[in-house]
Structure 1
Amino acid sequence: MTFSTTSHGSSAQAHLPNKVHLGEEATESREMGVAIPQKDDTLKAKPLAHFIAGGVGGMTAATLTSPLDVLKTRLQSDFYQSQLQALRASHPVRPAPLFISLPRSALVHFKETFQILHSIYSHEGPRALFKGLGPNLVGVVPARAINFYVYGNGKRILSNYFGYHDSMTTPWNIHLGAAAIAGIATGTATNPIWLIKTRLQLDKSNAESGKGGRQYKNSWDCIKQTVRHEGIRGLYKGLSASYLGVAESATQWVLYEQMKLYLARREAAKLADPKHVHTTWDDVELWGGRIAAAGAAKLFAAVATYPHEVVRTRLRQAPVVPVAGGKVQVKYTGLIQCFKVVAKEEGLAGLYGGLTPHLLRVVPSAAIMFGMYEVILRLFGTTS
C-alpha cells in the first residue's frame, strides 16, 4: 500500500509518522518537501494525471477569466490606447495634491476598465468577451503540460547535479534555473498559438464597429493569412518578448516555492507536536495558504515585469496589408524598437496599458489553476 501527500502536506500527513515503520521505502519528494513512504515509482507511474490536472486547471482558469483577457489585450494595443487618450482629453481632470491624485487616478482607471468591458458587451455582444478563447484553450493544455513537466523534472535534475538531496534545504537558485528552462521551452513551443489568439482578439471588426468586414474568419484563416503575408517567421512574432517574460514566470515559481516551503514547515511543526489535534481548520488553513501563495506570487511577478506583456502584444499585432497589394506595413519591428516607440509616443504609462484588467485576470487565474491542479491530482491518487 502506498501513501502519498500533496505538495504542501495534507490532513493525511497526520498519520504518516505512525506508518513509516511498515517496511515501505521512504523517499524524499522534491515537489512536496516531505518524506513519503512508497513502493516502486508510484509518482512516475501517473504522468497522464499531471498532464490532465495541469490542462484542466489551465482551461478552467482561462475560461472563467476570458473577458478580462480580451479587455487586457485590447488595452495593450495602440488602437485602444489612442481611444483611451482621446476619452481622457475630453474629460480633463483638475490638478490635485499627490495624496489625492493617486487614489483618484486609481479609481478612474478602474472605472475606465469596467466601462470598456461593458462597452464590449453592449456593442459586440457576449460572444465578444470570449474572442480568441478557442486558440487560448488549445494553447493552455500543452503550455501547462510543458511548463509543469519541464519545471518539475528540471528541478529534480538540477538538484541531483548540484548535490541537493533534501528539498527542505534546496536553494532558490535551483528553482530559478528550472523555471527559466521551463519558461523558454513553453514560450518556444506555444508562441504561434498565442499570436493567433492575440490577433483574433484585436480583429478590427470588433475593434471598430461598422468599419469594414472581419479580417479573419477563424483561427485557421488567421494562420493562413499570417503565413501568406509574413511567412513562417510571422507565427513567432513576439517570441523575444516571451523570452523576456521568462523573468515573470521564474519570479512566480521562486516565490511560490518559498511560500510552499513555509507552509510545509508549518505543517511539519504541527505534526511534530504531540499535543496538536488535527481539525478542519488546519485543512482550510493549508489549502487557503496554497491558493493565497499562488495568487500572491503571480501578483508580485506580474507587476514587476508587466511592460514585456505590452511589447509582446504590440509585436503580435496584425500588420497593415494594402488593398492593392504591395509591401506589408509593420509598425513594430523588434523588441528594443517596440520599447522605444511605445515610450516615445505614449510615455512610460503606455508600457503599463491594461495593467488593471491583467491583474484582475492573472491573480485569480493563478489561484484557480494551481488549486484545480492540486485537487485533480489528489483525485488521481498522486501528487505534484
Structure 2
Amino acid sequence: MTFSTASHSSPAQAQLPQKLSSENTVIESRETGEVMPKRDEPPKEKPLAHFVAGGVGGMTAATLTSPLDVLKTRLQSDFYQSQLQSLRSSHPVRPAPAIVALPRSALLHFNETFQILHSIYKHEGPRALFKGLGPNLIGVVPARAINFYVYGNGKRILSNYLGYHDSMRTPWGIHLGAAAIAGMATGTATNPIWLIKTRLQLDKSNAESGRGGRQYKNSWDCVKQTVRHEGVRGLYKGLSASYLGVVESASQWVLYEQMKMFLARREAARLADPAHVHTTWDDIELWGGRIGAAGTAKLIAAVATYPHEVVRTRLRQAPVVPVGGGKVHVKYTGLIQCFKVVAKEEGMAGLYGGLTPHLLRVVPSAAIMFGMYEVILRLFGTTS
C-alpha cells in the first residue's frame, strides 16, 4: 500500500486529498482513501527492556498486595479450610431461595475474608501481613521478568516471522503462542522458588497456630529437607499445575492485547480527526483504559481457571514426616489425584478456597504490574 504525505507532495500527489491534524500529520491511502495518523519511526528493539520492566512491575505489585497473598495461601491450604468450615458450622445460615442465597453467600465470603485478615493483624501483628514477602519477591521478580521478556520478544519474533508488522492488526494466535511459551518457560524456571515460599509460609503459620513446631529453619533447610525426603523432583512439585496455569496467563495476555488494540484504534481515529485537539484527558483515557484492561483481563482469566491455583498449593504442601522416623506420607501425589481428593473431601467449593482474597489481590496487582511495565518501556524508548 502506498501513501501520500502532507509534508512531502509531488505534483501528481497534490491531486490527492491531504489533511493535517492540529498536532499530527495524517496520511491517506491511495487505494482505499482511508485517513490514518502518520506513524513515527518504529521504536528500536530493546529486548532487555521487557526483562527490566517486567521485574520492576512485578516487584511493585507484589509488595503492595502482600497481605492478600498471605491470606490467599492460608485459605488454599487444607488446614485453614477445615478451620473455616468449623467457623461456618458454628454459625449456620438458614436456607433461602436461590435469588437470595447467591448474593448472601458472596457477602458472607467477603465478610469471612476480611475477618481473617483482621485476625491476622490483631493476633500476629502487622508484620504477619508481609510473611513470605522476601521469598515472594525472590520468586516474583525473576518470574515476571522472564515472563514479560519471553512474551514481549516472542511476540515480536513470531510477528516478524509470519509477516505481521502492524501491531494493531496482529492476530490473537500470535499473542496466544507467545503467552504459552512465556508461561511454560516461567513455570519451569521458578517452580522451586514458589515451592519453598509456599512451604515456609504454611510452616510458620502452623507453628504459630499451635499445630506443632517449625519443620524448617530457613529457606536453605527447606531445600535440603525437600531433596532428602523427596529427591530433586520434589522441588518441582506442582509444576504440572503450573503448566495448567499457562491457560490463565495466556488467556490474560490475549484479552489484554485485544483490549489494548481496541484502545489504540480509538486513539488513531482521534488523531486522524483534523478538528480534534489533544488534551490531558486523552492521555488519562488511554492510560486508564490500559490499566482497566489489565485488571479486567486478569479478572476473567483468574475466575475461569482458579481451581489450578488450589491444586498447585496443595501439591506444594510439605509431606508429613513421622517424628520417630519411618515412611514419609504424601497426601497429594499428582494433578488428577489432587483434584479428585479435594473434590471428594471438600466438594467443588474446596477448589475455590481463597478465591475472594485471590481476586482482591491479583486484579489490582495486574493493573499495577502492567501499568509499570508500559511506563518503564516508554522510559527505555520502546513500547510493548
Alignment pair present for 1:43 and 2:44: yes
Cα deviation code 1:172-229 (max 9, x no counterpart) = 1111111111100110001011111111111155465234322222222221221121
Amino acid at match of 1:104: R
* Within-5 A mapping of 1:148-163: 148-163=148-163
Deviation at 1:50, TM superposition (A): 2.9
Indicate the residue corresponding to 2:300 in structure 1. 300
What are the residue-to-residue correspondences of 1:293-332 with 2, within 5 Å?
A: 293-332=293-332
Map of 2:77 onto structure 1: 77
In the alignment, what sits opposite 2:338?
338
Q: What is the Cα deviation at residue 53 of structure 1? A: 1.9
Deviation, 1:34, is: 9.1
Identify the match of residue 25 of structure 2 among 11, 14, 17: 17
Counterpart contact for 2:121–2:128, Cα < 8 Å = yes
The CA RMSD measured in Å over matched residues stands at: 2.0
CA apart distance, 1:152: 1.7
Whether the 8 Å CA contact 2:159–2:170 is kept in 1: the answer is yes
Matched, 1:238 2:238: yes
Matches within 5 A, 1:252-291: 252-291=252-291
What secondary structure, in the 3-state scheme, does the structure 1 residue paired with 2:41 have? strand
Moved more, 198-207 or 276-285: 198-207
Instruction: State the Cα distance separating 1:162 from its structure 2 match.
Output: 2.9
Query: Cα distance, 1:117 vs. partner?
Result: 1.0
Partner in structure 2 of residue 177 of structure 1? 177
Name the SS for the 2:274 alignment partner: coil
CA deviations over 1:22-70 (Å, ceiling 9, x no partner): xxxxxxxxxxx994315xxx633x4443322211110010011011001
Match of 2:8 in 1: none
CA distance in 1, matches of 2:255, 2:38: 19
Contact 2:66 2:130 in 1 (8 A): yes
Q: Are residues 236 and 87 of structure 1, via their aligned partners in 2, closer, same or farther at CA, if it must alter by over 3 Å?
A: same
> Does the 8 Å contact 1:306/1:355 carry over to 2?
yes
Paired residues, number = 355
Cα distance change of structure 1 residues 93 and 59 upon mapping to structure 2, 3 Å threshold: same
**Distance across 1 between alignment mates of 2:71 and 2:38:** 42
Report the secondary structure of 2:260's partner residue: helix
Task: Please report how far the alpha carbon of residue 15 of structure 1 lies from its aligned counterpart in structure 2 after TM superposition.
Answer: 4.8
- Alignment gaps of 5+ in structure 2: 1-20, 28-36
Q: Which runs of 4+ in 1 moved over 6 A?
A: none
1:37 partner letter: E
Partners of 1:37 and 1:165 in 2: CA distance:
13
Structure 2 CA distance for partners of 1:235 and 1:14, relative to 1, 3 Å: farther
Given that residues 124 and 206 in structure 1 are in contact (C-alpha distance below 8 angstroms), is that contact kept between their aligned partners in structure 2?
no
Letter paired with 2:92: P
Residue 141 of structure 1 is matched in structure 2 by 141
CA distance in 1 between counterparts of 2:129 and 2:38 reads 43
Point out the structure with max Rg over C-alpha.
2
Distance 1:265 1:53 in 2: 25
Percentage of identical aligned residues: 87
Partner of 1:10: none
Give unpaired runs (5+ residues) of structure 1: 1-12, 21-32
Is 1:107 equivalent to 2:113 in the alignment?
Answer: no
1:61 is aligned with what amino acid? A
Q: Give deviations 1:303-340, integer Å, cap 9, x for gaps.
A: 00000000000000011011111111100000000000
Q: 1:247–1:35: structure 2 CA closer, same or farther, 3 Å change rule?
A: farther
- State TM-score, norm by structure 2: 0.88
Larger deviation: 161-170 or 339-348? 161-170
* 2:132 corresponding residue in structure 1: 132
How big is the shift at 1:288?
0.3
SS at 2:69 equivalent: helix
Amino acid at match of 2:355: L
Q: CA deviation at 1:125?
A: 2.0
Question: How many angstroms does 1:349 deviate by?
Answer: 0.5
The question of whether the paired residues in 2 share the 8 Å contact of 1:205 and 1:213 is answered with no
- Shift in CA distance, 378/159, structure 1 to aligned 2, threshold 3 Å: closer
Amino acid at match of 1:278: H
Q: Is the 8 A contact 2:24 2:38 kept in 1?
A: no
Whole-Å Cα distance in 1 between the matches of residues 222 and 348 of structure 2? Answer: 31
